[in-house]
Amino acid sequence: MAKIYIDPGHNASGADTGAVGYGLKEQDVSVQIGVLLRNMLINSGQTVKMSRDSITDTVSSSLNGSLAYRYNSANDWNADIFVSIHCNAANTKAYGCETYYCTGSTQGRALAECVQPNMAAETERYNRGVKSANFAVIKHTNMPAILVETAFIDNYDDNRFLASEDGKYKCATAIYKGICDYLGIEYKLESEDELMSREYEELKAENDRQNDIINQMGTELEELRNTAKSKIYDYIDDNMPEWARPTITKLVDKGFLKGDEEGKLGLTYDLMRMLIINDRAGIYGE
């Protein structure tokens, strides 16, 4: 069992919010891919910790603080592998995926060389290859570390891929398979049938829940209607339905309706409906 630290790049606010393309935010996409990856790894028996697991998370308001939080957290946890997830951005024309390791790190390179081929195969994005750099989060970590640039968020085609649920799932699957290849363990992914079956059950459960709510609302509405029908309306006031007041007022003014000794009209719901139908038919005149 390996301890894998997933670092969805950037923050919801502050100085390190990441790139934006066509309204899509890098910091959102990185978290969404990271959560999918976490679930896959946990399902395979691995231990996972994340720097951020919600699109509302901000680990620090400053750039240096944000970067330091990530590598210090991974180091303090004694992670076996560090994976930082990002979206690239350049000039709207660049496209494809690439994976970085820290310059001089043999194990970092080995991890990157396991992940990048899977990225290209799963996502079908242009393969920009394995590259080295000295990014803070892969330079100051004490374990094999990579930074995955999933696709270019400012390139329209790559952006549409990243915005889709299928695109994010493929990115997570690719990184997952690369980690498994590096660790020498078998993939343990849900089959398409299993995934569809689970999603169907989840949708069915939600549909049943909504139907229960609708049925309950229908029952309550029917009870209200029955209450209204059995109620006696003695006066033209706020208790009388608004739709009935003009006709009842007219009939009282014309003398067609008279109350008892106390002035009570004693009207039922059904009687008011009948009076209104007659009034609309012109029986009571103008």
DSSP for 198-232 reads HHHHHHHHHHHHHHHHHHHHHHHHHHHHHHHHH--
Q: Report DSSP letters for the chain, one per residue.
A: --EEEEEE-S-SSSS----EETTEEHHHHHHHHHHHHHHHHHHTT-EEEES--STT--S-SSHHHHHHHHHHHHHHTT-SEEEEEEEE-SSSS---EEEEEETT-HHHHHHHHHHHHHHHHHH---EEEEEEE--HHHHS-SS-EEEEEEEETTSHHHHHHHHSHHHHHHHHHHHHHHHHHHHT-------HHHHHHHHHHHHHHHHHHHHHHHHHHHHHHHHHHHHHHH--B-SSSTTS-TTTHHHHHHHHHTTS----TT----B-HHHHHHHHHHHHTTTT--
d(CA 171, CA 164): 11
For residues 248, 249, 251, 252, the Cα torsion angle rounded to the nearest 10 degrees is: 110
* Residues assigned a catalytic role: 149
**What are the tokens at 3?**
């301890």
Q: How many CA atoms lie within 13 A of 241 on its CB side?
A: 17
